[in-house]
Amino acid sequence: MTALATPPKNRRENPKANKTGRASKAEYVKEKPSYLSTGILILGALYCLFPVIWVVAAASKDGTELFSTFTLAPSTHLWDNIVELTEYRDGLFWRWMLNTALYAGVGAIVSTWVSALSGYVLAKFDFPGKSGVFKVLLMGVLVPGVILAIPQYLMLAQAGLTNTYWSVLLPQIISPYGIYLARIYAAASVPGDVIEAARTEGAKEMYIFNRIAAPMMLPGLVTIFLFQFVAIWNNFMLPYIMLGDDQLFPITVGLNGLLNQGASAPALYTLVLAGALLSIVPLVIMFLLLQRYWRVDLAAGAVKA
């Protein structure tokens, strides 16, 4: 017997097969690497990573080395800077970190649930004014959050909620972009047959959403959660306007205050850089923990043929 030759690994089979079942040159397409695309990706990665590399190097220097040595040359004072930052005003920095985790964690969770429910309703229900609501939503996506900060401050001031945790949490619960993404993902990932089957079995609408639709939308909801978490974690303008007590500051506003003090006390610059480096760590951990949820066709097989 004559064994058929195995095609090379760097080739893929053309769907058109000849009658003899044997492979011919026309049935295989050679895959060539794109050096231009690879080079562009490498340059883009270096462009994005350069600020991180700079922060790591600068945070490892003391006050004298920061302005006298090569920018990207690391030193050995990182731990000393972290200890000094921890001792600053009895650990105020870690209070800022906890505040930021509260704002970003609670705000992102609640905002993701509201976005998921709103997107699911817009995708799977018909009601008067649905198209108008969606158009208003699209307009909300185009409005920068900075423009809304002052009106939000005036509204919360009337309610007596400024300079509280609520003044930072409440404005960030509604995310037009999150609702827009949730609507797109709900329309694509939640089959109407599954919803109708659940209704036939007597399931309530909120039960269908929480127990059936939301798990099918999980990859999209993880994306919305990460977008919201990063946006709230990095938000500066809203808490800067809303808060006056430094015990309530998030990390962005707190480090900005330290940076302003550095003009009269240059030793604080090393604390700012160490704090900036530590503020990146939770975001990296969050992405590493949640990236496994980015899977395609999570709901595949939910509807039987």
Q: Which residue has the higher pLDDT, 134 or 28?
A: 134
In terms of residues, how long is the chain? 305
Is the pLDDT at 4 greater than 80? The verdict is no
Instruction: Give me the residues paired with residue 28 across strands.
Output: 13
Is the pLDDT at 127 greater than 90? The verdict is no
Q: Helical H runs in the chain?
A: 35-59, 63-66, 78-87, 92-124, 130-142, 145-158, 165-169, 176-189, 192-200, 205-208, 214-216, 218-233, 237-242, 251-261, 268-290
C-alpha to C-alpha distances, 109 to 97, 159, 284, nearest whole angstrom: 18, 24, 18
In the predicted model, what is the mean pLDDT of the chain? 83
- What average pLDDT does range 271-289 have in this prediction? 89
Is the pLDDT at 5 greater than 60? The verdict is no
Per-residue confidence band for 11, with pLDDT thresholds at 50, 70 and 90:
very low
Range with top average pLDDT, 22-36, 132-146, 195-209, 283-297: 195-209
SS (HEC) of 42-95: HHHHHHHHHHHHHHHHHHCCCHHHHCCCCCCCCCCCHHHHHHHHHHHHHCHHHH
Is the pLDDT at 99 greater than 90? The verdict is yes
Instruction: Report the C-alpha gap between 206 and 262 in whole angstroms.
Output: 53
Instruction: Report the C-alpha gap between 65 and 13 in whole angstroms.
Output: 59
Instruction: Report the C-alpha gap between 55 and 280 in whole angstroms.
Output: 10
pLDDT tens track for 237-268:
999 999 988 899 999 999 998 888 876 777 78
Is the pLDDT at 6 greater than 60? The verdict is no
Is the pLDDT at 168 greater than 60? The verdict is yes
**How much of the chain, in percent, has pLDDT values that exceed 70?**
85
Per-residue confidence band for 29, with pLDDT thresholds at 50, 70 and 90:
low
pLDDT number for residue 140: 82
Full-model pTM? 0.80
Phi first, then psi, for residue 11 (nearest 5°) are: -125, 150
pLDDT tens track for 43-94:
999 998 898 899 999 998 888 888 888 888 888 889 999 999 999 888 899 9
- What average pLDDT does range 131-149 have in this prediction? 84
pLDDT number for residue 236: 92
pLDDT number for residue 305: 38
pLDDT number for residue 30: 59
Per-residue confidence band for 229, with pLDDT thresholds at 50, 70 and 90:
very high
* Residue pair 137/176 in contact by the 8 Å Cβ criterion: yes
* Residue pair 260/240 in contact by the 8 Å Cβ criterion: no
Instruction: Report the C-alpha gap between 63 and 49 in whole angstroms.
Output: 24
